[in-house]
A and B are shown apart, each in its own frame.
Chain A
Amino acid sequence: MLVNQFLFLGAILFCIGVYGVLARRNAVLVLMSIELILNSVNINLVAFGAMWHVTDPSNLSGQVFALFVIAIAAAEVGVGLAIVLLIHRNRQSIDVNDVDLMKG
């Protein structure tokens, strides 16, 4: 298998996620697109980890970093959805275009 197969898959998923963040206006869908982005980065980390593991079997940094990213993604979704719930409770809408209180 080529390393680039996995890297291209990660890049395509990343771009789809970026499209989702920019094109969606529902806050939950924006969070889902962010999950896509984080997963594409994780594919890259694990692919690079596997690549270095072949040359240096004691090196597992790629996987360890992927696990850290998974933990941080879980924290991000928890706090993000709590914020979305709070916005919904205060404004009865989770349209990200309506949340412009800090716009100058």
Chain B
Amino acid sequence: MLALLVAQNIAFYIIAALMVFGAIRVVTCKNLMHAALWLVLVLAGVAAQYILLAAEFVAITQVLVYLGAIIVLFLFGIMLTRTKTGTDDNLDNSAGARRMAALIGVLLAGVMGYSLWDGFGKREFGDLLVQRTAQVSDSIFSTYLLPFEVISILLLAALIGAIVLARRD
């Protein structure tokens, strides 16, 4: 059990380091297409973290929806709107605005880090049980049935809205 825990921790830190590096590349990289590809790394890392948290269904959904659909949508968006190929120096705001943004990010990280440490400290998960897909579906289709239906209507509305906005006439 201890060996498993050590392995889980090592996996967590390797994946987390990759994710943070990828996320920083997404927000600093000078090439739009590369930013989208770094985003793939971050989203795949998120799916891996879900597996570590024994949440199998959300991990698979993450791969299907984010890596499969949303990234392709982003690549389409880049290809349909990009005027320049390769690196582009016009992706960022001025240096002053970037410094301000970095300051806000660091301050936010400080506040959240402090409150998380204050609130949860060294609290352990204990032995994680696998959260089975059948249980998730039971939960969705009993307790959360109404929100589920509302989400369906929302997706339909978003679909129609996207078609209406993007059609050419």
> Which of A's residues lie within 8 Å of B, judged by CB?
1-9, 11-20, 22-29, 31-33, 35-36, 39, 42-43, 46-47, 49-51, 53-54, 57-58, 60-61, 63-64, 66-68, 70-79, 81-86, 88-89, 92, 94-95, 97
**Contacts known (A71-B151, A72-B151); A15 close to B105, Cβ less than 8 A:** yes
B42 touches A46 (CB 8 A): no
How many whole Å from B148's CB to the nearest CB in chain A? 8
A16 touches B23 (CB 8 A): yes
Contacts of B77 in A (CB 8 A): 28, 31, 81, 84-85
Contacts of B165 in A (CB 8 A): 79, 82-83, 85-86
How many whole Å from B128's CB to the nearest CB in chain A? 6
A49 touches B12 (CB 8 A): no
A39 touches B113 (CB 8 A): no
A24 touches B120 (CB 8 A): no
The 8 closest A-B pairs by CB, nearest first: A20-B27, A22-B101, A75-B158, A82-B165, A19-B105, A23-B101, A11-B112, A82-B162
Which residue of B20, B88, B124, B158 is within 8 Å of A13 (Cβ)? B20
B80 within 8 A of partner (CB): yes
B5 within 8 A of partner (CB): yes
Q: How many residues of B are counted as interface, with CB atoms below 8 angstroms from the partner's CB atoms? A: 89
Complex: A58 Cα to B135 Cα, angstroms = 8
Which residue of A11, A24, A53, A63 is within 8 Å of B109 (Cβ)? A11
A6 touches B53 (CB 8 A): yes
Chain A: CB-nearest residue to B106: A15
B123 touches A6 (CB 8 A): no
Chain A: CB-nearest residue to B151: A71
Complex: A21 Cα to B91 Cα, angstroms = 12
A4 touches B123 (CB 8 A): yes
Complex: A89 Cα to B49 Cα, angstroms = 39
Chain A: CB-nearest residue to B27: A20
